[in-house]
Structure 1
């Protein structure tokens, strides 16, 4: 028997004898380490058009198992938000698993078609030998569960919904299954997707007669324009939320005419595609467009645009003059228009720079073949990672510039390492899953996509409160996502977010932004902070009071819309004091607020006193630090951003929590040091000395 090694996917040796394992002479050779998602290992050379199964695999009756086995929905969200029925179904499905045995003793026969398929979807082998005794199984899962979707249960909960969707086979261990269960107990959709990068299923050419939905589709080594065209056609005809509108502001932009390979002025009402990719320090040389010496990603994007029948392509490196100028600044602030008005955005997910190319478009950017086997007269194909898994670990999703490019468009054609995905504001499709049979319309995901895509504010216009609430949530989420990403040049700290801010101004925050903060509508947005795990670095050319003046993720401890006077989760909760925005000049911000001087004593916490007295105001906490002793001792000035007033019970005393910016410098030239909260001692609201601290505001200038 020719054995397939589960470690390197090569033939002729057991996993325990694999030269890539630690302690072997060849373990440092990178060529020996396989890409476990490269689904055409050496075993493919032994493939046969005739179905041959080893004794164990014959006993699995895998085709009957995929076709007729009773496999239930593992993501059944009840009206209470719980997934109790889903957990019951998961236990039911666990009884339908096919055992492969302990990892160290699993033998896969290279002459067996099912063994070969198993080897191609087997997860990464753990390096720790203690894990080699773990039991592995072929696990069944409904196709839509693997995508994080579910079929809504019928009104009569005793009846199982009619399922016309394929069953997929994944390989995992009992330990991995339990780890997944515990890790995502509160998020059942994440639990369904997590951990199953690869799977196999019946081909859509030989599907299970009663389960044709989402069968495996054969994807070629090269991309197939007709599939992408079908997605675009479906979106244009059936998705009103994805409608693209023209803006005359585009007339100042340049475009690449993909037929003549010339940079031209944007024609009125033209259809064009925008490219989103990682520069990685690689930019086009002068004349590269005409001489066909462009970086491979841009060259492949031209090829794709032409194949889709679109005449124009927008690429920032070619269509924006990179010399600093007012024109460049103007176009950087138009990113929302450029991407939202594009017919589609090509997203280059794979690769670390512009030379990586779009996988499957040219011979310079190849992709691995899809695994295919014939078993008992049926064709079985491997499936590639779903979009959430494809995004994980990519350089693209760590870069600051790509965030707004990804979010602002209505349609995205994502070229991943293993397959193409199509994500619009309504649907989500990929090459290796046959989306033409979707009885429940599960891939047209509608409002569930709103957590990822910027939706129109009319969907949140029921009343002023809901608009304010959504504006607050959207800004805080996007600011956190953006500051969590990296950029090459500090000078782009605001530029890389201008398009997103412009979109927010048009939809949720019409009064605009001051150095990235919505100070006119939410002056309390000044109370951002760096979480305790972040080590921020100052960007000296930007103001200290804005997050753009720092490198590092930011967050907010509470929502910003207490200013509306709405009660929060506690009794009589309201913001009874908020600083007031007055204006700014260059990087100097002018506000009207309460400026207080406090003495910080560490005994054992950061306790705040009125200087020169023993009048204790309360404990200070920096950002979200758990330990309340991170500030230095001494006397400092603090600018009050917001004070929350509330009661823990209807008849209890009023309590105060004060958000303050800890300042450095002197009056007239303050800079930000940190955001702190003062937890005021109970009963002080009735003390005259305490009230006097907050009784007078003044004009303060921040650098």
Structure 2
């Protein structure tokens, strides 16, 4: 019987024939299909054609140790549903609960770890929403939600259950979406009288439904739990996102929503073609059926989540990286990500270096296990990806990654801020540049909005601009960095004690972004070019994409690093590549001469006047 004809006589054969046909270049009557875990692959192809799953145990109790990722029954495949369940079906939420229970029981790396400032009282966000209780099937339950100040929650209630869920979602435009913001005008009413469930826009209301269905009492939503607008507390609350998302029981991401009024629990879901196979399993007990589902592969975490609309928001990268585990609600699938990997309703497990880095429940522990070079490439990838994201308010750019930057500063055991780390990472961090591969990409200075904070972001930081960045491709081990008091390029934090300095027991790592009481200037030695500027400009990547403005004074360069001479291939030092910041004079004063960053370049050493000590300047 030929492969094609057999499809008319067997439902499984028909399914295999349909999914394989587009990949077959000839009419070969024999094909080879191999199984890897819970997926089936066509020979010599790298993407699965079908996935295998077995139904979850009902009712779902807390999984025993060892159930992690593996399925139940005789088939040794992952647990999942053959078809996508309706969002408000009890079986659907039973699976989400099972994911969380399995993670709680078997993934020690995903456990919540925090040092509460008050012993015995867990660390919580400033405000939370008490969602009350509701019945998923009948829809009956509490019709009023209350905004509560967590410091006022009684001790006995916290001991009973202090878990909360955090929502990651897009706001959408004011024109199309009701943001339902808490302001100084309605704060007291929301605390004392509560909020009607029906008054919430669809996305926020769906978040309440999910929170109740997962058996969690408290919910954190930024639009409600942070006081927005005039006299709000955004400035004090935004830097606390590191704890809000990392300590949440889980994060729910409204990946399919376009804004607060869109919702993410749609009534209709796409169907999936599958075949059910059953067999008697005597060793499982009398009259026990072992069921196996074979279905189309309909999961694509990269496309549905990483490349999805929600992940284009600037705030979301940090929310994903800080979360211990996240449930993503997309229009195709629901995905679960934690420190053990990624699952979906068909429970295909997907992994990648980037997914492991951002899905790390103890970010950035994955990076710290890597070599120094790998760490550098990972944080460069992080900042490059972040710079391409969208902001409703561009002035949020320095603070929407604050939680991640604080974690990195601590992990690297150094001082840092504004996208740059002190110590061995300092020079390389200054050598960011406008990504020339992005069409029409220029670095536009961000005007800081007063209600978001009036701190100054220095011109040497990419956080001061809109636009996509990348980093200069400086070799990892053969560059002599020229920063420090001796070489003249001095970081703003050079006068602070080194972390771990035994002579200064109070010394510790410090995150500096947004600190209004600090100076953010770089002290440097600027040098003239020994060739005409018109020649140098062929090598310069200007941040603005063009030559300096007319109001910019003299243009000079600051040497950040130079290529180390090779013993095997000696090259005159005058020809070795030099990695430089290009700066322009901003203003003159009796105290100092201030310069601003204009761009970066790699120049031969003999293009730079290196005689004398250079001109002492301040890059602001």
Q: TM-score, normalised by structure 2?
A: 0.69
Using the TM superposition, give the Cα deviation of residue 412 of structure 1 relative to its aligned residue in structure 2, in angstroms: 0.4
Using the TM superposition, give the Cα deviation of residue 276 of structure 1 relative to its aligned residue in structure 2, in angstroms: 0.4
Using the TM superposition, give the Cα deviation of residue 702 of structure 1 relative to its aligned residue in structure 2, in angstroms: 3.0
Using the TM superposition, give the Cα deviation of residue 192 of structure 1 relative to its aligned residue in structure 2, in angstroms: 3.6
Using the TM superposition, give the Cα deviation of residue 671 of structure 1 relative to its aligned residue in structure 2, in angstroms: 2.0
Using the TM superposition, give the Cα deviation of residue 521 of structure 1 relative to its aligned residue in structure 2, in angstroms: 6.1
Match of 1:291 among 180, 196, 201: 196
SS in 1 for 2:563: strand
Using the TM superposition, give the Cα deviation of residue 317 of structure 1 relative to its aligned residue in structure 2, in angstroms: 0.8
Using the TM superposition, give the Cα deviation of residue 272 of structure 1 relative to its aligned residue in structure 2, in angstroms: 0.8
Counterpart check, 1:245 vs 2:113? yes
Cα deviations by residue, 1:207-227 (Å, 9 ceiling, x for unpaired): 9x9966258623212251110
Tell me which residue corresponds to 1:347. 253
Q: Distance in 1 between matches of 2:597 and 2:268?
A: 50
Q: Is the 8 A contact 1:202 1:216 kept in 2?
A: no
Cα 1:638–1:585 change in 2 (3 A) is farther
Using the TM superposition, give the Cα deviation of residue 242 of structure 1 relative to its aligned residue in structure 2, in angstroms: 0.8
Tell me which residue corresponds to 2:594. 669
Tell me which residue corresponds to 1:543. 458
Counterpart check, 1:228 vs 2:93? no
Tell me which residue corresponds to 1:517. 420
Tell me which residue corresponds to 2:563. 645
Cα deviations by residue, 1:250-287 (Å, 9 ceiling, x for unpaired): 45611111106111122457111111011113411557
Q: Is the 8 A contact 1:297 1:357 kept in 2?
A: yes
Cα 1:374–1:574 change in 2 (3 A) is closer
Tell me which residue corresponds to 1:660. 581
Using the TM superposition, give the Cα deviation of residue 333 of structure 1 relative to its aligned residue in structure 2, in angstroms: 0.6
Q: Distance in 2 between matches of 1:494 and 1:138?
A: 60
| Structure 1 residues 674-685: aligned runs within 5 Å | 674-681=599-606
Q: Distance in 2 between matches of 1:212 and 1:65?
A: 24
Tell me which residue corresponds to 1:276. 168
Tell me which residue corresponds to 2:618. 701
Q: Is the 8 A contact 2:313 2:389 kept in 1?
A: yes
| Structure 1 residues 64-79: aligned runs within 5 Å | none
Using the TM superposition, give the Cα deviation of residue 446 of structure 1 relative to its aligned residue in structure 2, in angstroms: 10
Q: Distance in 2 between matches of 1:506 and 1:591?
A: 22
Cα deviations by residue, 1:490-511 (Å, 9 ceiling, x for unpaired): 2212221222222223323542
SS in 2 for 1:692: coil
Using the TM superposition, give the Cα deviation of residue 313 of structure 1 relative to its aligned residue in structure 2, in angstroms: 0.7
Task: Compute the RMSD of aligned alpha carbons.
Answer: 4.5
Using the TM superposition, give the Cα deviation of residue 304 of structure 1 relative to its aligned residue in structure 2, in angstroms: 0.8
Tell me which residue corresponds to 2:496. none
Cα 1:674–1:313 change in 2 (3 A) is same
SS in 2 for 1:213: coil
Cα deviations by residue, 1:365-410 (Å, 9 ceiling, x for unpaired): 2232423466999976444232112126522111101110111111
Cα 1:598–1:271 change in 2 (3 A) is same
Q: Could you tell which deviates more after superposition, 392-401 or 477-486?
A: 392-401
Cα 1:210–1:65 change in 2 (3 A) is farther
Counterpart check, 1:213 vs 2:123? no
Cα 1:582–1:399 change in 2 (3 A) is closer
Q: Is the 8 A contact 1:367 1:417 kept in 2?
A: no
| Structure 1 residues 91-110: aligned runs within 5 Å | 97-98=20-21
Cα deviations by residue, 1:121-142 (Å, 9 ceiling, x for unpaired): xxxxxxxxxxxxx999999897
Using the TM superposition, give the Cα deviation of residue 673 of structure 1 relative to its aligned residue in structure 2, in angstroms: 1.8
| Structure 1 residues 39-78: aligned runs within 5 Å | 58-59=7-8, 61=10, 63=12
Q: Could you tell which deviates more after superposition, 387-396 or 275-284?
A: 387-396
Counterpart check, 1:358 vs 2:264? yes
Q: TM-score, normalised by structure 1?
A: 0.61
Q: Distance in 2 between matches of 1:138 and 1:397?
A: 44
Match of 2:326 among 409, 412, 434: 412
Q: When the two structures are aligned, how many residues end up with a matched partner? A: 502
Q: Distance in 2 between matches of 1:444 and 1:559?
A: 32
SS in 2 for 1:529: strand
Q: Is the 8 A contact 2:524 2:618 kept in 1?
A: no
Cα deviations by residue, 1:490-549 (Å, 9 ceiling, x for unpaired): 221222122222222332354231x34335664422221111132222213343222121
Q: Distance in 2 between matches of 1:263 and 1:137?
A: 65
Match of 2:226 among 320, 340, 361: 320
| Structure 1 residues 560-571: aligned runs within 5 Å | 567-568=477-478
Q: Is the 8 A contact 1:351 1:394 kept in 2?
A: no
Using the TM superposition, give the Cα deviation of residue 637 of structure 1 relative to its aligned residue in structure 2, in angstroms: 2.6
Counterpart check, 1:598 vs 2:529? yes
Q: Could you tell which deviates more after superposition, 296-305 or 244-253?
A: 244-253
